[in-house]
Each structure stands twice: as structure tokens, then as C-alpha cells.
């Protein structure tokens, strides 16, 4: 079964799979998890691309605290990992790095390639606004604790815990 999952999630562009990439924008559904001294999110979707986009936007929603993010640029992010969970965490870490260094937050996400060991994601980014985003969480790190990204039945589910 594990080999079957790996074969179905081999890195491929959505266009070559006959799919048109969908642009996901804030807000997207996620469930915030209570966690001692940390904050977590759980998302689900009908595809790997949908669950990845929802993870990106859940992180953005935590940073923005409900305030609008007004995009002023796009960036194509390509990340690699050893498996689905590590790859999704690598993407979230890259976005958190951009927040820490350039003070930008994702406003939308389009997954162009998704696979077990790589992602290519076009992200619209907007500047952090200390007034509009005052209620946001001060995320310090993306952790391995309880992290997962996997297909469960007919849905994809992911969970990530962030250090505060």
C-alpha cells in the first residue's frame, strides 16, 4: 500500500495530470488546535494540492490574526523533502522565514506541482501590517511534533504545530 501511495503522489505538474491549478485565497477552512505553549492547525482537502494550499493559508491566517493581507508580489517556491510531511513542513518553514526576514504573509496560494518529495507553489505575498495584523500569533518555528500530511480514505489531512 505504501508503494501505491508513493506511485500516486510522485512529483508531477497538475497540468500534465490534466488538472488546472486552482488559486486558493484567504480565508480557507482550518481547525486551530489547542496545544500547551504552542498553536496547531489541522486541514483537510480533496487533493494533496488542496491540503497544501490550506496549510499555507492556515499559517498565514495565524500570522495575520484575521486582518486582510494585501498582496503586492508573487513568488514561486520550490521545496523538496524526503516524504509528504517533510515536504509540507519545508514549505511552511520557507514561508515563516520570509515572514521573519521580509515581513510578508501569504495572501493566496496556487500549487503547480505536488508530490511525495517536492512542491512547486506560486504564492502571492503581502506586507505585514502591525495594526491590521495585531491579533496575529508570533510564530517562531514549524515543529515536527504531531506533524503529518497523508491521504486518509477519500480525503487528504494535514496537521502542524507551531512554536510560539
Helices 84-102 and 48-64 pack at an angle, to 10 degrees, of: 30
Residue with cell 497523508: 150
Res. 55: pLDDT tops 80: yes
Lowest mean pLDDT among 1-10, 51-60, 71-80, 104-113: 1-10
CB within 8 A of 79, min separation 6: which ones? Answer: 87, 90, 91, 94, 118, 119, 121
What is the count of structural domains for the chain? 1
8 pLDDT band, cuts 50/70/90, is very low
Res. 10: pLDDT tops 80: no
For residue 62, the enclosing domain spans: 2-163
pTM, 2 dp: 0.84
CATH (domain of 142): 3.55.10.10
Res. 2: pLDDT tops 50: no
Tens-digit pLDDT profile for residues 91-139 = 999 999 999 999 999 999 999 999 888 999 999 999 999 999 999 999 9
pLDDT value, residue 31: 74
Residue 8 dihedral angles phi and psi, to the nearest 5°: -70, -20
Residue range 49-63: average pLDDT? Answer: 97
Distance CA 162, CA 35 (A): 9
Res. 38: pLDDT tops 60: yes
pLDDT value, residue 5: 38
Tens-digit pLDDT profile for residues 12-26 = 455 555 567 888 887
Amino acid at each position: 500500500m505504501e508503494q501505491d501511495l508513493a506511485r500516486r503522489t510522485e512529483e508531477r505538474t497538475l497540468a500534465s495530470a490534466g488538472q488546472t491549478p486552482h488559486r486558493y485565497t484567504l480565508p480557507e477552512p482550518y481547525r486551530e488546535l489547542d496545544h500547551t505553549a504552542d498553536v496547531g492547525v489541522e486541514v483537510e482537502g480533496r487533493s494533496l494540492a488542496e491540503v497544501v494550499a490550506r496549510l499555507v493559508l492556515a499559517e498565514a491566517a495565524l500570522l495575520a490574526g484575521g486582518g486582510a493581507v494585501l498582496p503586492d508580489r508573487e513568488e514561486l517556491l520550490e521545496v523538496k523533502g524526503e516524504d509528504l510531511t517533510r515536504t509540507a513542513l519545508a514549505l511552511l518553514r520557507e514561508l515563516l522565514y520570509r515572514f521573519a526576514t521580509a515581513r510578508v504573509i501569504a495572501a493566496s496560494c496556487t500549487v503547480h506541482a505536488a508530490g511525495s518529495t517536492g512542491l512547486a507553489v506560486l504564492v502571492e505575498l503581502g506586507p505585514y501590517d502591525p495594526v491590521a495584523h495585531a491579533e496575529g500569533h508570533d510564530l517562531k518555528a514549524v515543529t515536527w511534533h504531531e506533524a503529518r500530511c497523508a491521504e486518509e480514505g477519500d480525503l487528504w489531512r494535514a496537521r502542524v504545530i507551531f512554536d510560539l
